Amino acid sequence: MRIFFKTSKIFPLLFGVTACVTAAGDANLPLFKSYSNKNSQRVASDYHAQGTDGMVVAAHPLATAAGVAMLEKGGNAIDAAVAASFVISVVRPQSTGLGGGGFLLYHDKEQKRQRIFDFRERAPIKASSSMFIDEQGNYKKIMFNGQLVKDPAIVGHLSVAVPGLVKGLVETHRELGKLDLRIVIAPAIEIAAKGFPVYLALAREIKDREQWLRLYPGSRKVFFLDGKPLEAGQTLVQDDLAKTLQLIAAHGHRDFYEGDTSRKLIAEIKRGNGLIDATDLRGYRVIERVPVSGYYRGHRVVSMPPPSSGGVHIIEMLNMLEQNDLSKLHPRGATYLHYLTEVMRRAFADRAKEMGDPDFVDVPVHRLTSKAYAQKVSASIDPERATPSSSIGLSAPTGESPSTTHISVMDRWGNAAATTQTVNYSFGSCVVAEGTGVVLNDEMDDFTTKPGGSNAFGLVTGTKNNIAPKKTPLSSMSPTMVLNKEGRVELILGSPGGPRIITAVLQAIVNVIDFKMELLDAVHATRVHHQWMPDTLRFEDGAFDNDSKKRLVDMGHKLSPIESVGDVQAIQREQSGLMHGVSDVRSDGKPGTPAHVKELK
Ligand code: GLY
């Protein structure tokens, strides 16, 4: 199919008449190039499922299976999402866990409304904006067992923020779930107690973080065997975690925040001079927030508001993109990729300047998501030239880790859940609280930990995101839904990947709506990423051919390869009611649909 033409009528709208010429070289490109997962033996159909009785898509087959089992027992989207969440905590300890936090977007089919549950980690009461730096403005020297902890905001006890995942899942389930909590947590308990085979990506992450996991006795106990990091094919058994989960099944979140588990968590934090105490745990609150929403070519897009930057910038970028008829452009052509990059650059500059916890700082959500603003900002896009990032914006963005995980669920009634959860970097702080099996997060690093300094990704951070007691660090997590004109959910999606969450979700939406790709292609197609600073266009292998590459370089883009942009887990519901689940080929996920559904009275 030749979807491109030389004398585009659309560019004069935004770019003026000179822009028409830039489209010429895109005509001969194949429609898109699938991303290929070089590490996997799986084939495309392993990443796709379809059915009408519900769908669960998660980044590990055991988590998907747990969610599907809940749907088969007559449970709803929340039962499935919560069951899958507890299992993913067990099988992806590098990404998420009971010691982490997250967001859940829920669509209530009956009431036709969406709700957001924010159970992200919060700064301890004793935290302060200078807690990581000494008088000279350098990172403090923190020692543990005679070893220097080089990056105290990323590794070790000081990096831990008050975890919210357990309270978030239990409270959301209590309000919206149908099944007994004990049934919902049972799969996670069983997998933690019996163990599961370590897969390649997990083995690689353990090896990557070996130095720090080895330092902390609780972590050594879980992730090492006979003094060596666990390898692929060996079994990861987590007895202590199974017991902690049993207490949650029996008592809800009480024991975790006020009982025996909480005392063990605090004892661990004290061992490494961290800040969290009993008051922090007891006082943790889940916050219900109003979703952020906008319209894109007639579809309603609903997503995560601040303290995530994700939803605002997805809508802001869609508003900018909407000014052109992208369906006339080639998804791998230089014209589209230049435009997409310029849009990303501008949104991420705003992220740096404007974003933080809305309970502490003023975040201009309405302005950033308005059509008028998008028009004004995108007027500065030059169709021929990349705009140097240094000429846009005032400060710089925060960056997050490539860890994190996302689960999408739809039940047969049309209720939907999208939840993104994290411990931040791989294995969070790398500290497992002794006697609990709980991997503690390092979410404090999502704050500005050193004014004017850079984080582990070489990114400089902004002031609205300074640390304060009880404040929530800025996130990029973007559980998102797209609804049709009748208010039915037609797309559910999200991703891990720090700032790349935002651009991965954006590109998947554009692939579906503008390029009319089937969901499998929309998720698997190559992606690019720009986050304003550093001023680099990151691209996956195959994102463009040599001609397009040359044109992008000629326009002034600084290109740099990247292994992958995000790991999208998505569901699409056709008008007929048929649901498609797609896991991203970039990771180890799997979609699943119920075989038999039991009717609940
Ligand atoms: N820690 C990753 C995020 O919240 O965006």
User: Structural domain boundaries of the chain?
Assistant: 47-290+403-600
Whole-number Å distance, alpha carbon 89 to ligand 1 midpoint, is 16
For residue 270, the SS3 value is helix
Whole-number Å distance, alpha carbon 384 to ligand 1 midpoint, is 34
Residues 13 and 324: their CA atoms lie apart, in Å, by 8
State whether the beta carbon of 479 lies less than 6 angstroms from ligand 1.
Answer: no
For ligand 1, what atom is nearest to the CA of residue 425? 1
Q: Which residues pair with 141 in a beta bridge?
A: none
pLDDT score at 481: 98
Residues 465 and 451: their CA atoms lie apart, in Å, by 10
Q: Whose CA is nearest to atom 3 of ligand 1?
A: 475
Whole-number Å distance, alpha carbon 155 to ligand 1 midpoint, is 15
DSSP calls for 475-538: B----EEEE-TTS-EEEEEE--STHHHHHHHHHHHHHHHTS---HHHHHHB--EE--SSS--EE
State whether the beta carbon of 446 lies less than 6 angstroms from ligand 1.
Answer: yes
Pocket test for ligand 1, best of 443, 459, 495 (most atoms within 8 A of CB): 443
Q: Is 235 a catalytic residue?
A: no
Q: How far is CA 578 from the centre of its chain?
A: 26
Residues 6 and 18: their CA atoms lie apart, in Å, by 12
Whole-number Å distance, alpha carbon 405 to ligand 1 midpoint, is 10
Pocket test for ligand 1, best of 154, 312, 400 (most atoms within 8 A of CB): 400
Residues 294 and 560: their CA atoms lie apart, in Å, by 32
Q: How many CB atoms lie within 10 A of CB 356?
A: 25
State whether the beta carbon of 404 lies less than 6 angstroms from ligand 1.
Answer: yes
pLDDT score at 458: 46
For ligand 1, what atom is nearest to the CA of residue 404? 2
Structure tokens at 504: 């991965």
State whether the beta carbon of 95 lies less than 6 angstroms from ligand 1.
Answer: no
State whether the beta carbon of 96 lies less than 6 angstroms from ligand 1.
Answer: no
Q: Whose CA is nearest to atom 1 of ligand 1?
A: 424
Q: Whose CA is nearest to atom 4 of ligand 1?
A: 475
Residues 142 and 155: their CA atoms lie apart, in Å, by 10
Whole-number Å distance, alpha carbon 476 to ligand 1 midpoint, is 5
pLDDT score at 398: 42
For residue 34, the SS3 value is strand
Catalytic pick among 404, 472, 503, 593: 404
| pLDDT tens-digit map of 184-207 | 999 999 999 999 999 999 999 999
Whole-number Å distance, alpha carbon 310 to ligand 1 midpoint, is 10
pLDDT score at 22: 38
DSSP assignment, residue 588? T
Whole-number Å distance, alpha carbon 415 to ligand 1 midpoint, is 26
CATH number of 47-290+403-600: 3.60.20.40
pLDDT score at 11: 38
For ligand 1, what atom is nearest to the CA of residue 120? 4
State whether the beta carbon of 422 lies less than 6 angstroms from ligand 1.
Answer: yes
Below-50 pLDDT ranges, the chain: 1-24, 395-401, 457-459, 601
For ligand 1, what atom is nearest to the CA of residue 310? 5
For ligand 1, what atom is nearest to the CA of residue 477? 5
Residues 173 and 249: their CA atoms lie apart, in Å, by 12
pLDDT score at 451: 73
State whether the beta carbon of 424 lies less than 6 angstroms from ligand 1.
Answer: yes
Angle of helix 499-513 relative to helix 334-354, nearest 10 degrees, comes to 140
| Side chain identity, residue 478 | S
Contact of 473 with 307, CB cutoff 8 Å: yes
Which of 38, 31, 64 shows the shortest CA–CA distance to 49? 64
State whether the beta carbon of 475 lies less than 6 angstroms from ligand 1.
Answer: yes
Q: Which residues pair with 581 in a beta bridge?
A: 49, 571
State whether the beta carbon of 400 lies less than 6 angstroms from ligand 1.
Answer: yes
Residues 208 and 551: their CA atoms lie apart, in Å, by 37
pLDDT score at 462: 74
State whether the beta carbon of 476 lies less than 6 angstroms from ligand 1.
Answer: yes
Whole-number Å distance, alpha carbon 431 to ligand 1 midpoint, is 18
